[in-house]
Amino acid sequence: MSDSEDDIILKDLNDADLVAQMHDDLYDGMADEVKEGTQILLGRGWDANNVLAEALVEGMRIVGIDFRDGILFVPEVLQCAGAMKGGMELLRPILAESENAASTGKYVIGTVKGDIHDIGKNLVGMMLEGAGFEVIDLGINNPVENYLEAIDKHQPSILGMSALLTTTMPYMGVVIEELDKRGILKELPVMVGGAPLNQEFADAINAHTYGRDAAMSAELAKTIVGKNR
Ligand code: B1M
């Protein structure tokens, strides 16, 4: 996007220009600069949620458009993802700070088989930690066996599945069917989420809840375990 970064001193930019520059830096996969911008905004008193939404998630939305249109390719988008994760790591402890730190419940989360997208899942995990959940993150590309093993081992209050591809979202239904067959579904609420999903799909596969975004998912999770005031 921009090719004259050399002379730009991030801390000298006003908020709007800094956010725009961070979108460029995220697009260019410049992890150090994205981290520095994140730090500067926090230092100026920005709320962590606003830094996340306006600087990082919005930057990734722009990346997504050019990825879709064949302007950016997988290796470049991986670099963008790395830059986004750098910024998210700085926000993690702030988002996870909570008066509910004692544990609202256990939440097992993982991206489904065939799918390696994890940025959104990680964000959901951070918000859940912020809501006081103990989060057990199974990572990416999880077959049904991984979910079953984690349920057995951790006895969670909620199971969460993430999918970013139209080709992998049906696998959520496979997992839910298996839980149903084993009599687990009636005891364990399942939350599903990811960009291609909607409420209709969640209903069709018999999921308990559809989480549209990270903040809403944390609120829904608290409601499910009866901890929403
Ligand atoms: Co991929 N990719 N990708 N990709 N990628 C998408 C998803 C795509 C929409 C891009 C596009 O065409 N515009 C498209 C999917 C099209 C479709 O299925 N309809 C796509 C494709 C096609 C692919 C490949 C097939 C490309 C290829 O190889 N030719 C390939 C598939 C690999 C695989 O998984 N098997 C692929 C690969 C990759 C990368 C590895 C390069 C990289 C992932 C890196 C990583 O995650 N570590 C990548 C990325 C980064 C994207 C985009 C650009 C960004 C995704 C993202 O991180 N968004 C994405 C385009 C886009 O979405 N704009 C795209 C930011 C994140 C904060 O949002 O993940 O939606 P999101 O999460 C949100 C909500 O959805 C929700 O809360 C989150 C926060 O608010 N949410 C949940 C998510 N999970 C939840 C779970 C919940 C509740 C809420 O409860 C449990």
- 193 CB within 6 A, ligand 1: yes
**Distance in Å, CA 22 to ligand 1 centroid:** 20
Closest atom of ligand 1 to 161 CA is 91
- pLDDT given at position 98: 53
- pLDDT given at position 99: 45
Please count the CA atoms within 13 angstroms of the CA of 54 that sit on its side-chain side.
17
Beta carbons of 24 and 15 less than 8 angstroms apart: no
**Distance in Å, CA 199 to ligand 1 centroid:** 18
- pLDDT given at position 44: 97
Q: Which parts of the chain sit beneath pLDDT 50?
A: 1-3, 99-101, 229
Q: From CA 146, how far away is CA 148, in angstroms rounded?
A: 5
Which residues, other chains included, contact 211 with Cβ-Cβ below 8 Å and sequence gap of 6+? 124, 160, 191, 192, 193, 217, 220, 221
- pLDDT given at position 26: 95
- pLDDT given at position 45: 97
- pLDDT given at position 32: 96
* Terminal CA-CA length for the chain: 45
- pLDDT given at position 1: 47
| Phi, then psi, of 219 in degrees rounded to 5 | -65, -45
